[in-house]
Each structure stands twice: as C-alpha cells, then as structure tokens.
Chains A and B, each alone.
Chain A
Amino acid sequence: MPEMKGFDSISTEDRERLALTGIQTDSLEGRAGSFLLVNDHVLHAGSNAEGVEVMMIDKALEKYAWLSEYFWNVVPKDKDQYTKYVADHPQRGYVIIARKGAKTTFPLQSCMFLQGDTIQTVHNIVIAEEGAEVHLIAGCASSMKTKEGAHYGVNEIYVGKDAKVTSTMIHTWGEEIEVFPRTASIVEEGGTFISNYVCMKPTKMVQMYPTAYLRGKGAVARFSSVIVAGSGSHIDSGSRAILEAPETSAELITRAITNGGTIISRGAIIGSAPQTKGNIECRGLILKDGIMHAIPEIDGRVTDVELSHEAAVGKIARDEIEYLMARGLSEEEATATIIRGFLDVRIEGLPDALQKQIDDAIDSADHGF
C-alpha cells in the first residue's frame, strides 16, 4: 500500500476540486494505486494491486533497462514544441506496468496538480502486458489560486495482446491555464483501449489529439469525450484511430456543449487494413453564442473497410423542453434534464467507479445552464 503523503500540503478547497476529477485524497479505499504530482514534484507513487507496479519514471528507467524501448517511442520526442519542451526537462511522471494476466478490480488514480504560476511537465508510460487489465483515473486540476500556468503532458500507452486499458481523464483546470496533452497508444492483437475524456470547467486552452495505433488483429479502440466550454474556454480536442491490422475497429464519440466558448471537435479514423470498421459520432449543442466546429475525417485506404461518421450541431429542441414541462418540470429543470441526458455517454463495460466519476463531473456542471 503506497503512502498517501502529499495531499496534506493541498488546501481543503483544492482537495474538493481534486475530488471532482475522481481523485481520493483521504484514503486509498477503492483504488488499486495512486500517483501524485504537484507542479514538478512527485509526492507519492505506488500500488497495492498484485502484479501492478506504479513507479516514478526516473526510478523505473533506472530499474528496468528494457523500458527505454517504450520511452519516447509511440510519442516522438520531436513531435512538436511541447514534446520537445518535456524532453528538455527532467523526466517526471509515472510508469505503470501491469504484468501478464494481472487484473485490477479498482482503478489506479493519478493526479496532476498545478499550484502557482508555472509550467508543469509530465511524462507517463502505461504498459499492460498480455491479458492484463488496468483502469486509470487521471485527474488533472489546478489550484483555485493559480492564475496562470500550463501543463504539458506526454502519455505513452502500450496495450498488449488481449490486454485492456481504460483511461478516464477528468480535467478541472482554471480559466488561465493552457493544457497540451500529447497521448498515443499502441494496441496489440485482441487488445482493447478505452479512453474517456471529461472537461466541464472553464479552461483557457486545451489542445490535444490522442492517437491509437491498432497494430494487432482484432484490436479495438473507443474514445468518448464529454466537453462543456464556457465563455473564455478554447477546447481543441480530438481523437484518432489508425486501423493498421485486419479486423480492428474504432469508435469515436463526442458530446459537446458550448456556453460561450469555442470547441473544435476533431476525429479521424484511417482504415489501412482489410475488414476494419470505424465510426465517428459527434453531437454538439450551442446554448448561447460560442463556436462548435466538428471536423470528422474518415480515410479508407484498402478495399473491405467500413468507415462512417455523423456529426450534428444544434440547439435544445423547444418541443423536448415543453414535453418535460407538461409533466410538471420547470423550464430550468427541463433544460438541465435534457442537457444531462445529452451528455450521458454510457460506455459498456466501464467499471462503476469510473462511470460514477463521469456522472459526478457532469452533475457538478449542471449548475449554470
């Protein structure tokens, strides 16, 4: 059992913000492991799940020479100015290794906390060996007191044969924070990668376009994003799946609401092997002002691919509001109920704890619509 040290240095108010991102700060009950990064300081890293190691990246690279093959591999060091910046700074972050066949019942939590005006860099590696199963909750938040700051995060995820990695990232940044995650994954034969992203709080800028390379036969990737952008938020978020092996499939689902902010929702599926399937679904609501720009791309490169996309941008239909009002709900209650339903992305097979985090994040944002 890892020590929970570090959280006591965070104010009660900020710990409540972390709770919104799915991070438990008092005990590890219901968690398989925990990692805490405050600015550039790793305060703890550890796991109590059998067959799962959670380590600081610098220590892990010393301990396992073979790990260098996974380091700056799926995300190239020179991809852009942000990856270069991370590479040029001391490596901080975690390495999670789930050994062959290891299955975590509870999610592993990782918390990236930004306090004070600084640029936080992080480099994480997740390796799920053959048949392993891990669930990650990545809670990213900034202190209420942080005025300006940035988070550059590199995540390299390796899903082995018949393994399964579920990653749920919940962002609770501030209005003056810029966030540039750079995430990519490789999924081997029969493996499944599920990525869920929730961003409900105002953030000055988020720009990310995580990519899954489906390298082994029958690999599956599913990206779900739930985004609400208030005034002053600029969220440029997408996901991309590259179907490189036969019988691979991908599904990219986005529900986005702008309440005065800008959302660019990208999605791309490239089918370069036969018997592959992919679907992109993006639905956006403009509640007031704001921009909702959906850019779905499908790119088939061989025969026997099935790729499709559907995107819609609209408003809440008046007849839906009146339908609920006719049953006695006020206009505000009816609107909130419809928005809640709109954002409800049920993901099959998601552990209850992770679904609850997503539901809680959505419920917490109900106010203000």
Chain B
Amino acid sequence: MLEISNLHVEVGGREVLHGVNLKINDGETHVLLGPNGSGKTTLLRTIMGFGSSQVTSGKILFNGVDVTEKPVHERAQLGMGIMFQRPPTISGLKLGKFLAATTKIGEERIPALAERMHMTKFLDRDVNAGFSGGEIKRSEILQLMVQEPSFVMLDEPESGVDVENMALLGGAAASLLEKDQHMINRTKSSLIITHTGYILDYIEADVGHVLIDGMMRCS
C-alpha cells in the first residue's frame, strides 16, 4: 500500500525528518509513537502532500505510484485520507454540502452515517464553526467515512475527547478500517499517531513504530 524510502523533509527551512523508511502492507494498521516534536505529524502531512513539508530527498510510493511530487487532491483521489487534529473553519460552507461534494459512496448514504456519528444537526452548519473538540473528531471521521479512503491517517484521534465520544469514535474508526471484518478480507490500511493509546482499545494494531528526532528508532 505505502512505501516510504529514505525520506528527508524540511519545515520552514529546518530538516525535521532525517531519512525515514516505512512500509505498510494492505490491510495493516501501524501505530506511530514518539515524543512531542519528534516529527510524527510532519510525517503524516508529508505523506498527504501539504505544502509546509518540503521533501528534499527520498520517495513515497502509494500502491506502486510515486506520489512524492503529486498535489494533495491527487493523493486523496488515489485513496489517501487524513483526520486532522485541528482542522480550519470553512465559513459559509455547510458540512452537508461539503460531504456531498466529496463523497465516493453516494449522497444517499450520508444521512445514515451522519446519524451514526451524531452529526445530523451539524449538516446545516459551517464546517468546524464553533465545533467542540469531540464534535470536530466526529466530523472528521464522518468526512472520512464519506470519502472512503483505502489508506487512513489518524493524528491523535483521542485528544480532547471524552469517554462517551471515545467509544463512538473508536467504533467508527474500527469500521472505517474494516476491523469488523476478518483480517484476511481487510484491504484498508492505516497509520495512527497516538499519545495515550486509548484508540488501541478499539483498533488492533499490527505494527508499532517509535519516531525520535525525525528518525525511526524501532519498529
């Protein structure tokens, strides 16, 4: 699914990732651990192609396609999806309209998924405007359910979430990653950043990595 080799990345002119290697096979869930500032979020942002991360050398292959230089939306269209930790507010764009514009599963399935994520009443609100911490996470998972990526990146899905929301989010994230299916049938892969590990009560991980000072120290 994803193969990263010798990836060097600069943010604001400073090298943050120093030659990262990572391979995630179809159906695998990998967990990324490491202290604050070690480069975990930068790695996710680089995989997605965000402009603040400059790849100076190395390669990112996604399902055999070299995406290192591809724009964000092409990566999304190829099947990558990311859950934002602190997404921006988009004034004037209703969540429901946004979901309808980005869905791969068909508009008719949106209401049931919104209901499941307790987001029905938010469909008429501007994306992320005044959402609480838990609401943002629910909205992010809902967006991913509708986008249906084959490779999902979650950046601290449990941060700022209370116990009740955690169960809802954990369950939803598990089904997003086909954890409800037998492992032989799973095709979706993921890379998850977690500090507390709470999300792992809901999602069984296959491989763990520790990133320290921009280098993978152990896997």
Contact = CB atoms under 8 A, between A and B. Distances in A.
A317 interface: yes
B92 A323 contact: no
Nearest to A337: B93
A343 B92 contact: yes
> In terms of DSSP, what is the predominant structure of the interface of chain B?
mixed
Contacts of B82: 326
Contact of A338 (B90, B104, B143): B90
Contacts, number: 65
| Most B C-beta atoms less than 10 A away, residue of A326, A327, A330, A334 | A326
Interface in B74-115: 76-77, 81-82, 84, 87-88, 90-93, 98, 101-102, 104
Interface string B24-61: 00000000000000000000000010110000000000
A340 interface: yes
B3 interface: no
Contacts of A327: 76, 81, 98, 102, 143, 147
Contacts of A334: 73
B90 A323 contact: yes
Interface in A311-327: 317-320, 322-327
Given A318-B51, A331-B71, A341-B126, A325 B76 contact: yes
A328 B73 contact: yes
B118 to A, nearest CB: 21
Interface in A203-253: none
A253 to B, nearest CB: 12
B76 A326 contact: yes
Size bin of chain B's contact surface? 20 to 34
Given A328-B76, A329-B101, A329-B102, A320 B143 contact: no
A337 B147 CA distance: 17
B48 A326 contact: yes
Most B CB within 10 A of own CB, among A317, A324, A340, A344: A324
Query: Considering residues B72, B77, B93, B147, which has the most beta carbons from chain A within 10 angstroms of its beta carbon?
Result: B72
A324 B84 CA distance: 11
14 contacts: A320-B90, A322-B72, A323-B84, A323-B88, A325-B73, A325-B76, A326-B84, A328-B77, A328-B104, A328-B147, A329-B102, A337-B93, A340-B93, A341-B93
Closest 8 CB pairs of A and B: A341-B92, A344-B92, A325-B72, A341-B93, A327-B102, A328-B76, A325-B73, A320-B88
Interface of A: 317-320, 322-331, 333-334, 337-338, 340-344
Given A324-B90, A326-B48, 15 more contacts: A318-B51, A319-B88, A322-B51, A323-B84, A323-B87, A323-B90, A326-B82, A327-B76, A328-B77, A328-B102, A329-B73, A333-B73, A337-B90, A338-B93, A341-B90
